[in-house]
Amino acid sequence: MTAEIPEFTAKEVATHHSTEDAWMVIHGQVYNVTSYLNDHPGGAEVLIETAGTDASEAFDNAGHSEDAFEIMAKYRVGKLKGAGNRKAAKPVKVAAAAAPKPKASNSARDLNTTVGAVAAMAGLGAAGFYYVNSTDALAALPNLMFLRSALPKSTGSRTRGLGFTEGFFLASAVFGVTAGVVSRRLMKLLHAHPSFMNYPPHIKLPKPVQPELLQQSGWLHPTTYQALPLAKKELVAPNTYRFVFELPDPDAVLGLPIGQHVAIAAEVDGKTVSRSYTPVSNNADRGVLELIIKCYPQGQLTGGYLAGLRVGDEVRFRGPKGAMRYRRGACGRRIGMLAGGSGITPMYQLIRAVCEDDRDTTRVSLVYANRAEPDILLRRELDAFARRYPDNLDVYYVLDEPPSGAAPAWAGGVGFVTKQIIADRFPAPGPDSKVMVCGPPGMVSAAKRSLAELGFEKPGSISKMSDQVFLF
């Protein structure tokens, strides 16, 4: 008979919140992590900070390696009471407010009136011209007497009225002043835009401002899993595959901000298993979601599920997740990146965004560590970016087992990523520099110590965008 799994209430879990007694809830399961505090790669403070609480969100945002999930199993003590009855939150639909109807305008009527006035003034001007040639009009216009002295004197034999030239100048002056006032009113009407129908032909209608493509929301949903079919599967390195999934529409946008990741869920041996991965595609790659994943033979999700996928199989995704949301200038002018193995994927996503943005002047120094040369992922793409954008990217490879007898000889680093390598390749600590780290727990722990000794700020228990050292 199978033993019944103990259930605990949230209040019961909350009482275990000290360094001597630390429990937490992750996706409805209760774990006693007291004896694991000092062994946690991210440091004991990470676990102590969330002890006694539901740490599911922090756990998802941090992302973990395959063996982390296997390690957790031994610390499971039960499940949260009522966790199985919770329903996923429904997506909120926001109805767009109806655009206000434009108010009726009298512009057309006013324009017709003004044009009529101009025509009338032209007629009056012509009549005035005839009048001033037959009468002594200056006597009736005392305010314009100064014009009489300015006009040329008639040399003809007429004794009354003005000559042709004098009458012409006087009529032109009267008409010019009146027409100037009216024309200013006419121009105001021509440039008034109370509705879209009143724009002159030479003025374009304003276009709606579109958010940056790489930051747009799209197909992904943060809480609901959705399925996508596998369109392509390619072996790119030992036990490492490139998976390409098709979105429902070839023009669809994935909706993944730069630096964030997605979660994959699957049923493996009767249990739901979930892992987080960073795509190497972004919103500019319409219609697809592309991942590069190392499949460990003993890994629950990778070895037991992803490695056996065939084209046409559907996989469930949700997201976006994570604390990093990269935008131009958000991480200072210099970024040092340390990646190990498949930890290159979030770094590649940022590198691509920096290099493909003509206005991004950020300089990235990448140190990428692997066991052997065939294990280097995305090398062709990284080398291409470094060649095309030397002001944006510098790449330095480190191998445990460099090729022997190769021509040319291996020019990168050998062995572990040391403090000296970090000091030589990374920017110095300062307000305009940031360091990002992603890789195996041992490498991450060693890097944190080296960075602290070099003067960088100690990373927080849960990484934030404002941290000088950000851990994926």
Handedness of CA 101, 104, 108, 114 (dihedral sign): negative
Helix, coil or strand: residue 284:
coil
What dihedral angle (degrees, nearest 10) is formed by the CA atoms of 381, 384, 390, 392? -30
Q: Do 450 and 422 meet the contact criterion of CB atoms below 8 Å apart?
A: yes
64 classed as catalytic = no
Q: Are strands 433-438 and 469-471 parallel, antiparallel or unpaired?
A: parallel
225 classed as catalytic = no
* β-bridge partners, 30: 25, 78
DSSP 463: -
**Among 31, 241, 277, 326, the one annotated catalytic:** 277
**Among 295, 331, 355, 438, the one annotated catalytic:** 438
40 classed as catalytic = no
Which pair of structure tokens corresponds to residue 149? 């002295």
Number of Cβ atoms within 10 Å of the Cβ of 7: 14
What is the CA 431 to chain-centroid distance, rounded?
Answer: 22
**Among 278, 302, 345, 362, the one annotated catalytic:** 278
Amino acid 113 reads T
Which pair of structure tokens corresponds to residue 34? 């007291």
DSSP one-letter string for 156-199 = SS--SS--HHHHHHHHHHHHHHHHHHHHHHHHHHHT--SSGGG-
Number of Cβ atoms within 10 Å of the Cβ of 331: 23
User: What angle, rounded to 10 degrees, do the helices at 344-355 and 379-388 form?
Assistant: 30
**Among 114, 178, 261, 305, the one annotated catalytic:** 261
438 classed as catalytic = yes
- As annotated, the active-site residues are 261, 277-278, 438
